[in-house]
Amino acid sequence: MSRSAECPKCGADISDSYQSQEDDVGISGGWYCDACDLGVADQDGPEPHDDDVMISGTGDSSHLCACGTPYEMGYGLAGGGGIGPYMYCPKCAAIINKSIDPEMT
């Protein structure tokens, strides 16, 4: 099934230019307008397929801070002492999932 899309710059129908996401080669999914030389990102993600497998920990709000910002990965000293990996919110500086690297103790 083809997904419809319109160029935000010129308003042309660019539905037939859809390229699905290919993570292994670094291609993001979306459309392309030849007239404007403009790529339009696929904000909804790839189309679901019958054989898709849900990977634990993806697709829900567990990676979002209470403020709505996605957590980012950090490494070093962060709250509670000890050096190791942690997740933090770049907007409100909340820190979660702090682990201490056993090689650094």
Q: What are phi and psi of 28, to 5 degrees?
A: -85, 145
- Could you tell me the residue ranges of all domains in the chain? 1-52, 61-104
Predicted model pTM: 0.40
Instruction: Please list, in sequence order, all residues whose beta carbon lies within 8 angstroms of the beta carbon of residue 28, skipping any fewer than 6 positions away.
Output: 21, 41, 42
Residue/partner pairs of 88-95 with CB below 8 Å, 24 or more apart: 89/65, 91/65, 91/67, 92/65, 92/66, 92/67, 94/65, 94/66, 94/67
Convert the pLDDT of each residue in 3-53 to its tens digit.
788 888 999 999 888 887 777 776 777 888 999 988 888 776 656 666 666
